[in-house]
Amino acid sequence: MDFSTRIDRIIKALENAYPVAECSLNYDKAYELLFAARLAAQCTDERVNMVTPVLFGKYPTLEALASADTQDIEKIIHSCGFFRSKARDIILASQMLINEFESRMPDNMEDLLRLPGVGRKTANLILGDIYKKPAVVVDTHCIRLSNRLGLVKSKDPAKIEIALREILPPEKSSDFCHRLVLHGRAVCEARSPKCGECSLYNLCPKLI
C-alpha cells in the first residue's frame, strides 16, 4: 500500500469512527474559544469547560474582560493552572481585540499570533473552527498519533504542522486533527493504547 493510499484510508476510517469532528471546548463566541484554548494549556478540556461558564457568566463581553480585575480572574481560573499568566493574557488580549481589531477576531495567522498568549496551535484552532480555513492543530494527541501512524517522524509541533499540511487535503485538515484528539482519548491512549479496538489497526505501521 503506497503512502497516499494509506493516508486516504486513515482519513476515511477516522471519519467513519467519529462522524462529528468538533472541538471539545465549549464556547458561544469566537473570543470565548480563544480564551478557552488559552486556559486549556497544561489543563484538561473537561476542567476548562467547568471554569469558562463561571468566567464568561461574570464577564459576558470583551469590554468586561478587558476591564476585569486581574486577581478576580485569577481566582476564577485558578484550577486551570498557570493562572497568573493566563489571567494576564486574557485581559491583555481582550484589550487588544477591542483597540486594534474593533472587537473582531483576526482571520489570519499573523494577526492572531500578535495576541498575548496565542501560539500556532491556538491560532490554527481559530482559523479552522471559526473561519473554516485549512488548519493543522498540533496538540499532544496529534503529536503522538501522527508519529504512531507513521505520518511524521518528529516531536516538534512546527515540523509536524508543516508535514501534515503537505500530506492532508486542506479541506479535511482541521477535522482530521479534531478526530485525532477524539481517537487519542478514546482508543490510542498514551500509555495503554487499545489496539484491539482500534479502527486504524490494519493501517498501523506495525502491521504493514
Res 208 pLDDT > 80: no
Query: No. of H helices and E strands in the chain?
Result: 11, 0
Taking the C-alpha atoms of residue 33 and residue 110, their distance in angstroms, rounded to an integer, is 18
Angle value at C-alpha 22, between 6 and 114, nearest 5 degrees:
100
Among residues 89, 129, 139, 175, the one annotated as catalytic is 139
Q: pLDDT-derived band of residue 81, with 50, 70 and 90 as boundaries?
A: very high
Span(s) in the chain for CATH 1.10.1670.10: 3-21+135-207
Length of the chain: 208
CATH 1.10.340.30 residue ranges of the chain are 30-129
Homologous superfamily (CATH) of 30-129 is: Hypothetical protein; domain 2 (1.10.340.30)
pTM, entire model? 0.94
Which carries the bigger pLDDT value, residue 58 or residue 207?
A: 58
- Structure confidence by residue, pLDDT tens digits, 123-178: 999 999 999 999 999 999 999 999 999 999 999 999 999 999 999 999 999 999 99
**Residue 205 confidence (pLDDT):** 86
Distance (Å, rounded) from C-alpha 163 to C-alpha 72?
Answer: 42
Catalytic residue among 89, 121, 129, 175: 121
pLDDT given for residue 109 in this prediction:
98
| Rounded Cα–Cα distance for residues 21 and 31 (Å) | 20
Check if 139 is active-site.
Answer: yes
Distance CA 79, CA 47 (A): 8
Q: CATH code for 3-21+135-207?
A: 1.10.1670.10
Respond yes or no: is residue 107 known to be catalytic.
Answer: no
- For residues 64-77, give the mean pLDDT: 98
